[in-house]
Amino acid sequence: MIYIPTDNTAASCTETIGSIVLNAKTPVIAGEKGICAGCGVATLSISYYDLGYKTGEMAAQVLTGEADIAEMPIQYAPAAKMYNPTVRGPGHHCPGGLRGHGIKKFRQEGLVYP
């Protein structure tokens, strides 16, 4: 198993990475959905859409005078989301039966931290 964190270089090379790990039958746990879609079996990551939406809401509050940027508390996008694309190719599977078991199984296997 290989973990690939959020990284622009890795994101631009997912096709190459995917062909290598597929031939090696080595699953990839990715740091974000884009990399996972290209070469991974699962990820637990933020939603960049949700993050941008929350940022837009905060900007609107500042621009309309509803909030003072100097006094505005830190806000967060909704919790991380799990993404598991269809595993591609024969013999390419998630080790230890991780596929389909959600975040609880990932935590049990030590792949993510609470």
- 12-51 pLDDT, tens digit each: 999 999 889 888 888 888 888 888 888 888 887 878 888 8
Read off the pLDDT of each residue in 61-72 and give the average, rounded to a whole number.
96
The pLDDT of residue 84 is above 80: no
Give the per-residue pLDDT at 76.
85
**pLDDT for res 81:** 67
Residue 58: what residue type? M
Lowest mean pLDDT among 4-18, 50-64, 77-91: 77-91
| Mean of the per-residue pLDDT values of the chain | 77
Q: What is the pLDDT of residue 105?
A: 47
